[in-house]
Amino acid sequence: MVLADQLPVLIVITPLIGAFLAPLIYRRHEKASGYLVLLSLLLSVVMAVFLLIKVRRDGPYFYQMGNWPPPWGIEYVADPLRVFMLLVVVAISLWIFLFAIEDLQHELRRTVIGWYYALYLLLVASMAAITMTNDLFNLFVFMEICAITSCAIITVKEDRECLEAGFKYLILSAMGTGCFLLGVALLYMVTGQLNFGFLQQELTAAVINYPLNVFTAAALFIVAFGTKAALFPLHVWLPDAHASAPSPSSAMLSGLVIKIYAFSLFVIFYRVFPRSLLDSLPLSEIVLWLAAFGVMFGSVYAMLQTDLKKMLAYSSIGQIAFIFMGIGLDQRLALVGGLYHIAVHAITKAMLFMAAGAIIYATGVRRISDMNGIGRVMPLVLVAFTVGSASMIGIPGTGGLISKWYLALGALEIGRSLFVLVILLSSLLNAIYYMPIVINAFMSQDDFACQVKEVPKVLQSALVIGMIFVVITGIFSRPLTLLLEEAVTVFF
Amino acid sequence: MAEKTVVAIQIIIVLAPIIMTPVIMYSCRISDQLRNGLSVATAAVTFILSLTLYPFIKDGGIVQLSLFEILPNLEISIRLDLLSFSLAALSSFVWLLATLYSLHYMAREHAGGRYYPVLIFTLGSCQGIFFAGDLFSLFVFFELMSIIAYILVIHEQTEEALKAGYKYLVMTIIGGLALFFGIIIIFELGGTVSLGVGPIIQERSTLGLIAFICFLIGFGMKAGMFPLHVWLPDAHPVAPSPASALLSGIMLKTGAYGLVRVVFFVYSYQLLQTSNWNDILAALAVITILLGSAVALTQTDIKRRLAYSSISQLGYVLLGLSILNNNAITGAIFHIFSHAFMKSALFLAAGAIIWKTGKRNIADFKGLGRQMPVTMGCFALAALAMIGIPPLNGFLSKWTLALGALDAEAPGFVLVLLISSLLNALYYLPIIIPAFFELPDSLQADHHGDEHDLPPVKIEEATPLMLSAIVILALCTIFFGLTPNNIAFSLSRLTAVYLLGGGGF
Amino acid sequence: MTELLNILLLVFLIICAIGVAYIRDLLSAVILFSAFGLIMAIIWQQLSAPDVAMVEAALGTGVAALLMIAAISKTKRVE
Amino acid sequence: MEILGGLIHNYYYFVAIILFVIGTHTMLTHANMIKKVIAMNIMDTSVFLLFVAIGYVQGGRPPIIGSDPEALYINPLPGALILTGIVVAVSVTAYALSLIVKIHRAYGTVDYDEICELRGDE
């Protein structure tokens, strides 16, 4: 079918069209605009599922923008890995939007909600494009769009902290893209290519002739994506930005946006750089150690926080480091673990932010110490929070355990048992800061002091869907891990 | 019995309580009666179903079946052999009694709507541990049980309970992580964690040792092994008494059970012997026994004393396990039975006393034997069994353990057993003797020195239902102790032969 | 000769960039930045990329500088 | 000496890198937000310079198809890319400046250090 061949670009275009229409419709019909956004996201999900089926059946294929063959045209790739990531992106965006549609009424001024819808869809479109593009410059363009929109969904809530955090994010993110572009220029200098596939061929020779260029580019890429994905020690922007944003934005940023950059680094490591480069340079080693420090740092700092959303934000720094650890370990199983953790953490952290959002929605409480006894007045929200915490800790039956299992197995396979200890230690630390919240929420003898509004049904159903996701990733993980295992085998 | 039926029964045993949990939770809204009825019915069905497995076991049947794959080579699988059967039957039996006992005990407590579902859920996950066919499923159910049991521990929701519960939870997580590490290493070394393929680790290696220590930490923590016992004396006493009985009587055993599985099914026990890794276990067991008994002496709270006593008793099981010969293993497994009966009886009796009189301090127990003769009688019986007075079951297990120690030419262990029994006597007798032969402080002032003219004391027993649970458990201590020709002992002996014979893979 | 001119322009570029960092008056900094952009446009013209040079002169220098001046007029002029 | 020779030969690259470092440094160290934005532009433009310099062919003509098909043209691809890049950079600038105006409205200052102090007092 002709339409089926156009799927990669349709998935990017559908939310883009929605992004243009949503604010226009919003002026007249607020409800209809929300449904339009839902519809365009739903369409994207359906298309992503079709794409997955197609790729599973016919194998990976390349889509050439406007029928220009590379190296002139821009190329999109649909292979199992990219489609997996794509599916994660669109499905979770759809799910978060369910939450957003209700929560935004409360957090934002009425007039800006239409614009928020547009930004949201633009963000989804740019993330979808980033996952599929096979061209470095196209990647750069969509990274900038992604940066602006994700910054905009922070600052759309115009209070002081959001503005300041948004600006900090924008500047550091600009530094990240600057470094990225410089790296691209260095690679282009020695190869004359921007397409991933051609680059990989050319680089095999270029590494020998121009080693410095390639090494510098690699280092710049680590800095660029490390900044954007909040890899320790380049994470400084994250806690403020994710904590102050409106809750749906926090869920989106912590759940998906930082993962996209980690995924891009992974793609560049394995799709752009030839294997010989990875073997000869300690690139993975650097990423690995940064990740190990990040895991510990994020967990320790999360323990010190008094604000719930800030705690969740610091916890993201620790968790994103798991994904980098998968990349850094440079081993098949660990890579599967890291990639699986993208999905798991996206679901879990988004759900935790939603739960935090629901708490703020209903009570206005943000401080952890004020939440004693809250579980008795809003049980469903706190049960969702508990399930999310369990997945963060890695309790059996939740997705967190599966990704940690793969990571640990990969680390053991290459004899790096030190990193298994890091993983376990971080689980312990996670337990230490997540559990008291849950315990005090349900078991504390103090009665919850604040006035409580009822949480709307839509928010509740979003949380229930999240819990189902978490359990599914924990118990029926096999199809997904099988897909990932097959997908990463080509890299080794 | 066909294998399919057996598997179906096993799955029902595990799933029925778990599925009933939300039903029970919901039934609270309709009526408390319905909730209680459902809880008892679930526990009873579980017990009866586990008994129906006996004919299959008697014919030497073994089931090992994987249900579905979670990760490559990592399935959720079920297994039924002598060991699983023994523990499953034992635990569902005690659970049934404790549930019956709870009906009246908990009537006075708050939040029954939370207590019963959790109680039944832990029953399901506990059975899941015993029926797990591989380390991973075992780990899953183990964690599930441990974490859910937290709600039982903090049921009272006092400051003290919350603190104890937090300690419990942190230790559980540490233990869980250690287990996770151990399982991953085994998976890495052997490529499988199934219990049905024979000893996975046959050769000595550093990683193997690390994994062994991890298992010791993970399961030993649950079993209250020194130095990981710290949570136990806080957590067990603060729970409601029937829950303490289960925590001490059954849930501790899951740790011991896990260690048995590790020693015989994950490692070949010959390897443990040749590389002397079992000495680690032996040393820790000896310390656990002595330390538990010694500290129990200093406790004045009845439930705390019982909790410390549990630590020392579990030490016997671990000691038996570390000796690794026929008699010792028989003793260890039989002691799992004995201790379940004795300690549950003790906790339930203590619960009845607290429930009726509110007394927790041992010094207040004077004259209690005349006030609550049946309860105190059962308490005394179980305590005597604990000390190891023949013909009670505690004697039989200690005797067999001692025989095992002598077979292994380690008379030192016999000495440890003797010292510990002496200590047991030292801390149990001061409860029993004043209870029967002294007057309460309030009466002593009037009647001092007048032993023959005791004033009539009003008999104030707990309800018959509660009493019956206590009495049944106490009678078990006699029934399974009179002669070695009882079902529990022969099961233990068969299991020991089965384990040492290579597990019949 | 063009070589020398190019080198001179490049040196100017660096001077402008450093100047932007040191001048405390923001308006002057923006003007210096415009100069930077225009020099850049000339250099690109020298490098046979007239299209890029035009866009840089119009957008990168013109529009950006206008926006900056607008922003400064709404905030503070001195650092 | 060899490196120095290389630098002199490739002075466009060299200058681009210097400008990039100056831009990044100014952007990250200066507290004034508008200064940060200007520096961000310098940083971006320096990378564009690098791109244009890469595309340049000694003696090449602009990529405008003329009458002479044999003529030597420069590589047109970097130029095309940079057009996109400039547009993106300007839009980021515009967005950042609008943020600055809002921040000024909220805090009464555009100096990062002062904002930190203000927030520290809260």
B358-395 pLDDT per residue, tens: 778 877 777 777 778 888 888 888 888 888 888 888 88
Residue A247 has pLDDT above 50, yes or no: yes
Please give the average per-residue pLDDT across A274-291, as a whole number: 85
Q: Which residues of A touch B180 (CB under 8 A)?
A: 394, 401, 404-405, 408, 424
Smallest Cβ–Cβ distance between B144 and the set A397, A412, A439 belongs to A397
**Cβ within 8 Å, pair A148-D85:** no
Q: What is the pTM of this model?
A: 0.86
Q: Which residues of B touch A444 (CB under 8 A)?
A: 162
Amino acid D67: pLDDT: 62
Q: Which residues of A touch B132 (CB under 8 A)?
A: none
What pLDDT band is residue D64 in, cutting at 50, 70 and 90? low
Domain assignment present for residue B348? The answer is yes
Residues in CB range of B49: below 8 A, 6 or more apart = B9, B12, B13, B16
Amino acid A42: pLDDT: 92
What pLDDT band is residue B132 in, cutting at 50, 70 and 90? confident
Buried b (16+ CB within 10 A) or exposed e, A115-132: bbbbbbbbbbbbbbbbbb
Nearest alpha carbon to residue B308 among B230, B250, B388, B416: B230
State CA D78 to chain mean position distance. 15
**Cβ within 8 Å, pair B173-A445:** no
Mutate to test the interface with A, among D86, D103, D110, D117 (most CBs of A within 10 A): D103
**Cβ within 8 Å, pair B188-A405:** no
Residues 101..120 of D with a Cβ closer than 8 Å to A: which? Answer: 102-103, 106-107, 115, 119
Domain assignment present for residue B114? The answer is no
- Smallest CA–CA distance, residue A312 to chain B, in Å, is 20
Mutate to test the interface with A, among B173, B206, B209 (most CBs of A within 10 A): B173
Domain assignment present for residue B204? The answer is no
Domain assignment present for residue B293? The answer is yes
For chain A, what is the mean pLDDT? 86
Looking at residue A394, its amino acid is G
**Cβ within 8 Å, pair A431-B169:** yes
User: Which domains does chain D possess?
Assistant: 2-63+72-121 (1.10.287.3510)
Nearest alpha carbon to residue A235 among A180, A291, A157: A291
Domain assignment present for residue B132? The answer is no
Q: Which residue of C has its CA nearest to D79?
A: C52
Residue B29 has pLDDT above 50, yes or no: yes
Is chain B in touch with chain D: ≥3 Cβ pairs within 8 A?
Answer: no
Buried b (16+ CB within 10 A) or exposed e, A199-234: bbebbeebbeebeebbbbbbbbbbbbbbbbbbbbeb
CA Rg value for chain B: 22
- Smallest CA–CA distance, residue A258 to chain D, in Å, is 19
Amino acid B447: pLDDT: 54
Q: Using CB atoms, list chains with 3+ pairs below 8 Å to chain A.
A: B, D
CA Rg value for chain C: 14
Q: Using CB atoms, list chains with 3+ pairs below 8 Å to chain C.
A: D
**Cβ within 8 Å, pair D107-A155:** no
> Quick check: A352 and A385 in contact, CB under 8 A?
yes
Measured distance CA(A169)–CA(A176) in Å, rounded: 10
Q: Which residues of C touch D78 (CB under 8 A)?
A: 49
Residue D9 has pLDDT above 70, yes or no: no
Residues 408..427 of A with a Cβ closer than 8 Å to D: which? Answer: none
Q: Which residue of D has its CA nearest to C10?
A: D15
Asked which of B58-67, B146-155, B403-412 is least confident by mean pLDDT, the reply is: B58-67
For the CA atoms of B204, B206, B210, B211, the dihedral, rounded to the nearest 10 degrees, stands at -40
* Helix ranges, A364-416 (H): 374-377, 379-393, 399-413
What pLDDT band is residue D66 in, cutting at 50, 70 and 90? low
Asked which of A145-159, A340-354, A401-415, B222-236 is least confident by mean pLDDT, the reply is: B222-236
What pLDDT band is residue D65 in, cutting at 50, 70 and 90? low
Q: Which residues of C touch D82 (CB under 8 A)?
A: 49, 52, 55
Amino acid A130: pLDDT: 92
- Smallest CA–CA distance, residue D83 to chain A, in Å, is 11
Query: Mind listing the pLDDT tens digit for each residue in B261-315?
Result: 888 888 888 888 888 888 888 888 888 888 888 888 888 888 888 888 888 888 8
Query: Mind listing the pLDDT tens digit for each residue in B158-185?
Result: 888 888 888 888 888 888 888 888 888 8
Give yes or no for B162 touching A (CB within 8 A): yes
Please give the average per-residue pLDDT across B313-342, as a whole number: 87
**pLDDT greater at residue D69 or residue A275:** A275
Query: B63-71 and A75-78: which strand pairing?
Result: unpaired
* Helix, strand, coil shares, percent, chain B, to 5: 75, 5, 20
Asked which of A348-357, B379-388, D68-77 is least confident by mean pLDDT, the reply is: D68-77
Domain assignment present for residue B296? The answer is yes
Amino acid B390: pLDDT: 80
Amino acid A209: pLDDT: 81
Q: Using CB atoms, list chains with 3+ pairs below 8 Å to chain B.
A: A
Q: Which residues of C touch D111 (CB under 8 A)?
A: 79
- Smallest CA–CA distance, residue D122 to chain C, in Å, is 23
- Smallest CA–CA distance, residue C77 to chain D, in Å, is 10
Q: Which domain holds residue B338?
A: 276-446+455-505
Amino acid B443: pLDDT: 62
**Cβ within 8 Å, pair C48-D25:** no
**Cβ within 8 Å, pair D97-C29:** no
Give yes or no for D9 touching A (CB within 8 A): no
State CA B307 to chain mean position distance. 11
> Quick check: B21 and B36 in contact, CB under 8 A?
no
Amino acid B159: pLDDT: 82
Is chain B in touch with chain C: ≥3 Cβ pairs within 8 A?
Answer: no
For chain B, what is the mean pLDDT? 83
Residue C14 has pLDDT above 80, yes or no: yes
Amino acid A126: pLDDT: 93
State CA B23 to chain mean position distance. 27
> Quick check: B404 and B326 in contact, CB under 8 A?
yes
Phi-psi label, residue B367: left if phi above 0, alpha if psi -120 to 50, beta otherwise: left
What pLDDT band is residue B504 in, cutting at 50, 70 and 90? very low
Amino acid B454: pLDDT: 58
Ranked by mean pLDDT, the top range of A17-21, B452-456, D11-15 is A17-21
Measured distance CA(B305)–CA(B299) in Å, rounded: 5
Please give the average per-residue pLDDT across B201-214, as a whole number: 85
Amino acid B25: pLDDT: 80
Measured distance CA(A383)–CA(A386) in Å, rounded: 5
Helix axis angle, A478-489 to A80-107, nearest 10°: 130
**Cβ within 8 Å, pair D93-C33:** no
As for the ipTM of the complex, it is: 0.81
Please give the average per-residue pLDDT across D73-95, as a whole number: 85
> Quick check: B121 and B21 in contact, CB under 8 A?
yes
Residues 39..78 of B with a Cβ closer than 8 Å to A: which? Answer: 68-72
Measured distance CA(A425)–CA(B185) in Å, rounded: 16
Give yes or no for C64 touching D (CB within 8 A): yes
Query: Mind listing the pLDDT tens digit for each residue in A109-142?
Result: 888 888 888 999 999 999 999 998 888 888 999 9
Residue % of chain B over a pLDDT of 70: 95
Smallest Cβ–Cβ distance between B184 and the set A396, A408, A478 belongs to A408
Amino acid A78: pLDDT: 85
Residue % of chain A over a pLDDT of 90: 21
Smallest Cβ–Cβ distance between D61 and the set C14, C26, C48 belongs to C48
Residue % of chain D over a pLDDT of 70: 80
Query: B74-80 and A75-78: which strand pairing?
Result: unpaired
Instruction: List the end-to-end C-alpha distance of chain C, in Å, as a whole number.
Output: 40
Q: Which residues of C touch D22 (CB under 8 A)?
A: 14, 17-18, 21
> Quick check: D114 and D103 in contact, CB under 8 A?
no
Looking at residue A68, its amino acid is W
Amino acid B8: pLDDT: 84
Please give the average per-residue pLDDT across B251-260, as a whole number: 89
Amino acid B449: pLDDT: 52
Amino acid A414: pLDDT: 86
CB pairs under 8 A between A and D: 85
Amino acid B457: pLDDT: 65
Residue B110 has pLDDT above 90, yes or no: no
Residues 45..64 of D with a Cβ closer than 8 Å to A: which? Answer: 47, 50-51, 54
**Cβ within 8 Å, pair C43-D109:** no
Structural domain count of chain B: 1
